[in-house]
């Protein structure tokens, strides 16, 4: 594979003798013509990650406390609860964070109640994590040109970055890109979107923020296995990254890609009713991942002239203990290879989109290996991958 900032002309065959490359830079459009000889041309630099940050809300939910409260709520009404309750112990979670104390969840809540909580708390977390990401590299919000917001656990119109703009001090001409519906894949896909936007306008600064308040979807009225599993797994949190193109950071975004499997809409997602969102969480996810993830990842890597042998570290979304075991088997990872993922799951639970960015933040502070691949799966059903090259 060509080095950073260089690519070979046309990996795919063409009928013509020449290949036209268009360079969109800060100083206009230049057309470069090249033969199919093995020449290498300098192309615009890839985007770089300058900073990462994480944030959680103030309320800590101990797993033992959640299990006891769930037993009091569901045990008398749900025949299968005792059998299902073992998931609280096997989930690999010690604690999670929430935007409301546990007492808030034992009262019936309407969609307006949940939405009010989402708008208030998600905006607060957005501001908190964005400031941390900016402060790390000494940037002000005035210097951000594009902001990408990833969130699927609430509906906000105007969206979260608009609600946070006055507190942070964004410019009036900032490009806003709110993205909804990516679920657990949102951290990786959102980072890929931000990377492409940075490369489209070299020299600009792009802030990507993922905020998910999964606990607001806890439901008293849903006597289902999916709701019990969700109650045992999900927490709240936020993560942010700053990217640019043309300036060295701690890692370069080398490539990204997605794979969406057909006829898989019912594997994961939301149902909607007057009480709010209801989780669609199919228990077939671990065996599906074990059977289907490897060819999808291999295909994404192959499009960028890579294979799993070229990857030093897979950075995975820790969706749950069984999902991680399935990923380890699918990608032929050694036992203990996902230690940081298990630590994040233990301390924070599954926070949906931000979770893989919590893992990235933890690993990059220890030192990233030369090449790592972020991967996550989410509604669609979709696998999303992003390749990072660590700076020397």
Structure token digits, residue 373 = 């691949």
Residue-wise pLDDT tens for the chain (392 aa)? Answer: 334 343 433 333 333 232 333 333 333 333 434 444 444 445 557 899 999 999 999 999 999 998 888 888 887 787 777 777 788 888 889 999 999 999 998 888 888 999 999 999 999 999 999 999 999 999 999 999 999 999 999 999 999 999 999 999 999 999 999 999 999 999 999 999 999 999 999 999 999 999 999 999 887 777 777 778 888 889 999 999 999 998 889 999 999 999 999 989 888 888 788 777 877 777 688 899 999 999 999 999 999 999 999 999 999 999 888 899 999 999 999 888 899 999 999 999 999 999 999 999 999 999 999 999 999 999 989 999 999 999 97
Residues annotated as part of the active site: 184
Local structure of 143: helix, strand or coil: helix
Q: For residue 377, with 0-12 CB atoms within 10 Å meaning exposed, 13-18 middle and 19 or more buried, which class applies?
A: buried
Q: Is the dihedral of CA 213, 54, 359, 389 positive or negative?
A: positive
Q: Measure the N-to-C terminal CA separation of the chain; round to a whole number of Å.
A: 17
User: Nearest 10 degrees: CA dihedral of 190, 364, 297, 278?
Assistant: -50
**What dotted CATH number matches 251-390?**
3.40.47.10
Task: Return the CATH fold of 49-245.
Answer: Peroxisomal Thiolase; Chain A, domain 1 (3.40.47)
Cα–Cα distance, 47 to 2 (Å, whole number):
16
Cα dist from 89 to 81, 86, 148, 164, 176, whole Å: 14, 5, 36, 38, 41
Sequence-ordered alpha helix ranges (H) in the chain: 63-74, 81-84, 87-90, 111-136, 160-168, 186-200, 225-233, 285-302, 321-330, 339-348, 355-366
Asked whether 335 and 310 are in contact (CB, 8 A), the reply is no
| 278/272 Cα distance (integer angstroms) | 6
Contact between 50 and 242 (Cβ < 8 Å)? yes
Q: Where in the chain is the domain with CATH 3.40.47.10?
A: 49-245, 251-390
């Amino acid at each position: 594979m060509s080095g950073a900032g260089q690519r070979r002309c046309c990996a795919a065959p063409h009928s013509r003798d020449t290949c036209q490359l268009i360079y969109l830079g800060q100083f206009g459009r230049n057309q470069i013509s090249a033969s199919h000889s093995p020449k290498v041309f300098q192309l615009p630099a890839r985007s770089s990650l300058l900073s990462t940050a994480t944030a959680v809300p103030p309320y800590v939910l101990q797993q033992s406390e959640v299990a006891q409260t769930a037993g009091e709520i569901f045990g008398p009404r749900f025949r299968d609860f005792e059998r299902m309750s073992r998931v609280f112990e096997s989930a690999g979670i010690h604690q999670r964070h929430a935007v409301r104390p546990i007492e808030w969840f034992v009262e019936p809540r309407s969609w307006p109640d949940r939405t009010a909580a989402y708008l208030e708390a998600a905006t607060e977390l957005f501001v908190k994590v964005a400031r941390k990401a900016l402060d790390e590299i000494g940037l002000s919000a005035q210097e951000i040109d594009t902001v990408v917001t990833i969130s699927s656990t609430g509906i906000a119109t105007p969206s979260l970055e608009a609600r946070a703009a006055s507190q942070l001090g964004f410019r009036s001409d900032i490009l806003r890109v709110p993205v909804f519906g990516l679920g657990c894949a949102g951290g990786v896909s959102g980072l890929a979107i931000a990377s492409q936007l940075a490369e489209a306008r070299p020299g600009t600064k792009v802030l990507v923020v993922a905020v998910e308040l999964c606990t607001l979807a806890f439901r008293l009225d849903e006597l289902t296995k999916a709701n019990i599993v969700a109650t045992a797994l999900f927490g709240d949190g936020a993560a942010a990254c700053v990217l640019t193109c043309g300036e060295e950071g701690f890692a370069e975004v080398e490539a990204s890609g997605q794979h969406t499997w057909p006829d898989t809409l019912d594997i994961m997602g939301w149902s909607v009713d007057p009480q709010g969102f209801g989780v669609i969480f199919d228990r077939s996810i671990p065996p599906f991942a074990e059977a289907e993830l490897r060819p999808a990842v291999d295909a994404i890597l192959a499009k960028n002239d890579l294979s799993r042998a070229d990857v030093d570290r897979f950075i995975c979304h820790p969706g749950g203990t069984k999902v991680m075991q399935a990923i380890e088997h699918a990608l032929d990872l050694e036992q203990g290879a996902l230690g940081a993922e298990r630590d994040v799951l233990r301390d924070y639970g599954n926070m949906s989109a931000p979770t893989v960015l919590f893992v990235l933040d933890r690993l990059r502070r220890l030192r990233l290996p030369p090449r790592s691949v972020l991967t996550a799966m989410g509604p669609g059903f979709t696998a999303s991958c992003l390749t990072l090259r660590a700076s020397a």
